Amino acid sequence: MSDNQADLVLHARWVAPVAPDATLLEQHAVVVRGDTIVDLLPSALADQQWRATEVRRLDQHLLIPGLVNAHTHAAMNLFRGLADDLPLMTWLEKHIWPAEGRWVSDPFVYEGTRLAAGEMIRAGTTCFADMYFFPDAVAKATLESGLRAAIFCPLMDFPTPMGSGPEDYLRLATDAVDQWRHEPRLSLGFGPHAPYTVSDGPLEKALTLAEELDLQIMMHVHETAGEIQQAVEHNGDRPLARLRRLGLLTPRLLAVHMTQLLDEEIQWLAETGTHVVHCPESNLKLASGFSPLYKLRQAGVNVALGTDGAASNNDLDMIGEMRAAALLAKGVSLRADALPAAEILEMATLGGARALGLDDRIGSLQAGKQADLVAVNLARLETQPVYDPVAQLVYAASRDQVTDVWVAGRALLKERNLLTLNEAQLVHNAQQWQRKIAGESQ
Ligand SMILES: CSC[C@H]1O[C@@H](n2cnc3c(O)ncnc32)[C@H](O)[C@@H]1O
Ligand SMILES: [Zn+2]
């Protein structure tokens, strides 16, 4: 290939690179060779300097880095709407865990993850962090969809359809790491469920293994006030203090939810480089509370954004999640300047990439990074006129304005059509699972 030959040149009316110190660009082009961005330059110059196999002119579009959903349980898409309007522990103990005990299997996780992948691609997510059972099925579905995923293998004290107990989960996790970690679009990690379901021994083992294998750890932490009260009554420690004592507060940990935080605990997170994953819609729907986003960011904690699973959110829409996060941060801090739109977009892209240890590869549009890109059409009456395209994306746009998505230079969505998954088939299969599941719970 000659020096000025590219595979793809994307010209866009606006480009938000999200790179450190980068500003919004107008009439620029992103140049892609193979799976990598090789140039970002004014459109007029790109026309002079680059020849390409494919050229797209996105004249009414904002081009952004692919959204990083930093916490979900993809296969739970098949449980969307199964149990609503309940608080966390009733939802989990009385509905979700019994349903998982009955239905979760390799084929369930494969089909549920495919359904979630279709939804995520159509909403502009290019990378998702998954925390669920049967990681091989998640890996297979992800690779087929063309998405990128960080797969956190489960760890709990009690048995599930996947494993008999901590030793078994850890063995299955290391097997999955061996099998999948060399796939360029996958990364692996450990997913101890929560402080109230994993005891000290297995947590220490997971940390040792994560250090040995250089992997991230994801855990639900401080999701509700009840979780903390129960822990204090049980062993005298708040869960975060216990994780600190065990050595888990490090840049390896993604602490999901964190709705209850003392100022001292925010300092621990900042000092140790622990990441927080904020899931505002799930927290609101389960009435769990909300994470003090403004305080966390002021303290210098890296915050990523996640949807949580579709059984508690009930969608995997990162554009909606950005809006919820922005409005909640302002409402809670009583500061209209808390979390401006550009900062929210950064959380939903580079913040997630940092938390997953992938910021050298994804999260911003820079030469040398992977070509994970999303085009959003702003020429709809709902997003007109455009003074500030990023504000329009966060405060006014909807996910169906995502028109095109690329991961590692490969198109997964073209003019709203899925290219790697059959939409009608996904709907059909979801309906079949619903009939089975609903049929038995009557
Ligand atoms: C081993 S992780 C999968 C496990 O987590 C459950 N889960 C889904 N959402 C939540 C949440 O918000 N808090 C706690 N646990 C959650 C899921 O149903 C699986 O059992
Ligand atoms: Zn979760």
* Number of the ligand closest to the Cα of 155: 1
The residue whose C-alpha atom lies closest to atom 5 belonging to ligand 1 is: 193
Domain ranges of the chain: 5-65+369-408, 67-355
> CA-to-CA distance for 402 and 290, rounded, in angstroms?
28
CA 396, CA 405: separation in Å to the nearest integer? Answer: 20
Ligand 2 midpoint to CA 154 (Å): 11
Give the ligand whose atoms come closest to the C-alpha of residue 69: 2
* Residue 308 assigned to a binding site: yes
Query: Per the annotation, does 73 bind a ligand?
Result: yes
Length of the chain: 442
Please give the distance, rounded to the nearest whole angstrom, from the Cα atom of residue 132 to the centre of ligand 2: 9
Q: From the CA of 93, which ligand is nearest?
A: 1
Question: Token match 């490090």: residue?
Answer: 250
Output the CA 358–ligand 2 centroid distance in Å.
20
Q: Is the CB of 96 under 6 A from ligand 1?
A: yes
Task: Report yes or no: 88 and 427 within 8 Å, Cβ to Cβ.
Answer: no
Residue 64 is predicted with a pLDDT of 98
Other CB atoms closer than 10 Å to residue 157's CB: what's the count?
Answer: 15
Sheet holding 417-418, edge to edge: 36-42, 25-33, 5-15, 51-65, 373-377, 402-407, 410-414, 417-418
Superfamily of structural domain 5-65+369-408: Urease, subunit C, domain 1 (2.30.40.10)
- The secondary structure element, H or E, covering residue 305 is strand 303-305
Give the pLDDT confidence score for residue 29 in this predicted structure.
98
pLDDT score of 144:
98
- Does any ligand 1 atom lie closer than 6 A to the CB of residue 213? no
Find tokens 């999901």 and name the residue: 256
pLDDT at 442: 54
pLDDT in tens, the chain (442 residues): 788 999 999 999 999 999 988 999 999 999 999 999 999 999 999 999 999 999 999 999 999 999 999 999 999 999 999 999 999 999 999 999 999 999 999 999 999 999 999 999 999 999 999 999 999 999 999 999 999 999 999 999 999 999 999 999 999 999 999 999 999 999 999 999 999 999 999 999 999 999 999 999 999 999 999 999 999 999 999 999 999 999 999 999 999 999 999 999 999 999 999 999 999 999 999 999 999 999 999 999 999 999 999 999 999 999 999 999 999 999 999 999 999 999 999 999 999 999 999 999 999 999 999 999 999 999 999 999 999 999 999 999 999 999 999 999 999 999 999 999 999 999 999 999 999 999 986 5
pTM, whole model, 2 decimals? 0.98
* Atom in ligand 1 nearest the alpha carbon of residue 288: 12
pLDDT at 194: 98
pLDDT score recorded for residue 440: 83
Residues in CB range of 152: below 8 A, 6 or more apart: 129, 130, 131, 188, 189, 190, 191, 216, 217, 218
Q: Are the CB atoms for 390 and 16 separated by under 8 Å?
A: yes
Pick the CATH number of 67-355 from 3.20.20.140, 3.30.420.40, 3.50.50.60, 3.40.50.10320: 3.20.20.140
Question: What is the interface pTM, i.e. ipTM, of the complex?
Answer: 0.99
Is any ligand 1 atom within 6 A of the Cβ of residue 100? yes
**Residue 104 Cβ contacting ligand 1 at under 6 Å:** no
Distance of CA 193 from the midpoint of ligand 1 (Å): 7
The CB of 259 under 6 Å from ligand 1? The reply is no
Instruction: Encode burial over 112-142: b for 16+ CB neighbours within 10 A, e otherwise.
Output: bbbbbbbbbbbbbbbbbbbbbbbbbbbbbbb
Q: Is the CB of 288 under 6 A from ligand 1?
A: no
Give the other-Cβ count within 10 Å of 248's Cβ.
24
Residue 54 to residues 39, 50, 57, 377, 434, Cα–Cα distance (Å): 15, 11, 10, 20, 41
Consult the annotation and say whether 278 binds a ligand.
no
Give dist(CA 112, CA 179) in Å, integer.
21
